[in-house]
Amino acid sequence: MRERLLLLLIIMLATAFFGEMKVNPFGGPFRFSLGIAAFFFGLLWFQSVPVLLIGLLTGAFTMWFRVGLDIVAYGTVWQESLFIHLPSAFYYGSFTLLFQIVSARRYVESPVLLGLIGATIDCASNLVELWVREISGVAPAGWGESILVLLFFGALRSFFAVGLYNSFSIRQVRAVGEVRQQELERLRMINTGLYEETFYLRKSMTQLEEITRESYQLYRQLLSSENTESSRALHIAEHVHEVKKDSQRMLAGLLKIINQKELAPQLSISELCGLVIRANQKYAEMMGKRIQFTGKCNVNLSTSQIYELLSVLNNLVANAVEAIPIEGKIELSVGFDKREIIFHVMDNGAGILHEDREWVFELGYTTKYDREGKPSTGIGLTHAKGIIHSLDGTLRIIHESEPITHFEVRIPTDQLLREEGGLCFGFS
């Protein structure tokens, strides 16, 4: 209720204020002002406001506002001023009534039609005001021959209000679109993290399946040799099988989250690289580092393997961010080479020693330690190489000069165009 009253007050004040920006085409008290443009815009923009109520209140408020100005500025007797400005209240009343009858708010999606409707209502309302002035004896001479002037100013004010409304609407839509885009990027990064978990969960399920099979074979062997431990081996096999079933249920839940319909099934390579760069710019800012990111994409292609690529590229670029002490440069570029798409990630950070390069993809190998001296898990590059291997691609270090670290990812184009699902996970 309080919000609605505030909107009513804003519309009334704006109408009265802009109503003083006027021209008097016939030399009398009849005026063309920007007040009706502000009023028309308010009716369109604040659609929760009741039309007839705001029309009556605005007409009355504008009339008394002008009376007050006459008294303060010119010392006019209030009865005389009221007699002069009373027809303007009829103008706003008739404008509101016609606006309500034609349901003008239904046409906000058709700006030209809405502008024409507004111009017609404006012209008709001016005729009502002039008719009232004619009855009261204060109408300007020769106004009946000036219909074209009424139409011109009506169209001018109407299309100004409609244009302003559309301008604000476009800005609002853009703002909502930007917020939604940020939310989609956040969801994609969350899904990328979930995808990494599903990668290892599937790997664990494969191992659990193998353990179940070997346990059952052990049970059969112990049973045939009449060993008393055979029942225990069967018990272990059953428990491992239950763990595998639980893992399958967790995997199904994760895949349901990852494959949300709200997220586009495909994403262009350039957008994907932009997402990686923006995410790591925030990461660098969080770490207090001044890093210049450069993105180059010469590939006009969309892929359904969004989370696989996001996981790998984000891992490589995040490693580059962590490798730069305070200030540096990171470049992410994409290009074609025959039937392969090549991703290059380069940075001028601490670099990788030549003798360490053959170990960086080994599980558990790390050069990163936290403030307490505890080592990182050392699974990032191993995980990235496993994903690339599942796409029949390669991940390697290019031997550049010592300060430059250069990772190259090669993936066959047809692998990036295939539908998601059915991947063969594994480590090389």
Element (DSSP H or E) covering residue 7: helix 2-18
Measured at the CA of 8, the angle between CA 6 and CA 13, to 5 degrees, comes to 95
Rg (alpha carbons) of the chain, rounded to whole number? 36
Spacing of C-alpha 416 from chain mean position: 25
Identity of the residue numbered 176: V
User: DSSP string of 263-323?
Assistant: S-S-EEHHHHHHHHHHHHHHHHHHTT-EEEEEEEE----EES-HHHHHHHHHHHHHHHHHH
Q: Which of 414, 420, 189, 185 is nearest to 313 (CA)?
A: 189
415: left (phi over 0), alpha (psi -120 to 50) or beta: alpha
- 3-state SS of the chain: helix, strand, coil percent to 5? 65, 10, 25
> Distance between CA atoms of 51 and 359, rounded to whole angstroms?
74
Return per-residue pLDDT of the chain as tens, 428 residues: 777 788 888 888 888 888 888 887 776 777 888 888 999 999 898 888 888 888 899 989 989 988 998 888 888 888 888 888 888 889 999 999 999 999 998 998 898 999 999 999 999 998 888 888 878 776 665 555 577 788 888 889 999 999 999 998 888 888 888 888 788 777 777 776 666 666 557 666 777 777 878 887 887 888 788 777 777 777 777 777 777 777 777 777 777 766 654 455 677 888 888 888 888 888 899 889 999 999 988 888 888 887 788 888 988 998 889 888 889 999 999 988 888 999 999 988 877 777 777 777 776 566 555 555 454 555 678 878 888 888 899 998 887 666 788 899 999 988 887 554 433 333 32
Alpha carbon distances (Å) from 223 to 212, 219, 220, 228, 230: 16, 6, 5, 8, 5
pTM attached to this predicted model: 0.52
Contact 16, 65 (CB under 8 A): yes
> Distance between CA atoms of 272 and 332, rounded to whole angstroms?
11
310: which 2 tokens? 């996001």
> Distance between CA atoms of 260 and 263, rounded to whole angstroms?
6
What letter would DSSP give residue 374?
P
pLDDT at 209: 79
> Distance between CA atoms of 2 and 365, rounded to whole angstroms?
63
What stretch(es) of the chain map to CATH 3.30.565.10? 264-420
User: DSSP string of 154-184?
Assistant: HHHHHHHHHHHHHHHHHHHHHHHHHHHHHHH
Contact 25, 74 (CB under 8 A): no
In 10 A of CB 220, how many CB atoms? 12
> Distance between CA atoms of 2 and 26, rounded to whole angstroms?
41
Element (DSSP H or E) covering residue 385: helix 380-390
Contact 41, 165 (CB under 8 A): yes
Spatial CB neighbours of 22, under 8 Å, sequence gap ≥ 6? 31, 32, 33, 34, 35
> Distance between CA atoms of 194 and 249, rounded to whole angstroms?
15
Domain 264-420 matching CATH 3.40.50.150: the answer reads no
Helix axes 51-74, 78-101, angle to 10 degrees: 160
What stretch(es) of the chain map to CATH 1.10.1760? 1-178
Alpha carbon distances (Å) from 88 to 31, 179, 238: 9, 44, 88
> Distance between CA atoms of 374 and 363, rounded to whole angstroms?
17
Contact 418, 301 (CB under 8 A): no
1-178: CATH topology: Arp2/3 complex 21 kDa subunit ARPC3 (1.10.1760)
What letter would DSSP give residue 340?
E
> Distance between CA atoms of 333 and 408, rounded to whole angstroms?
10
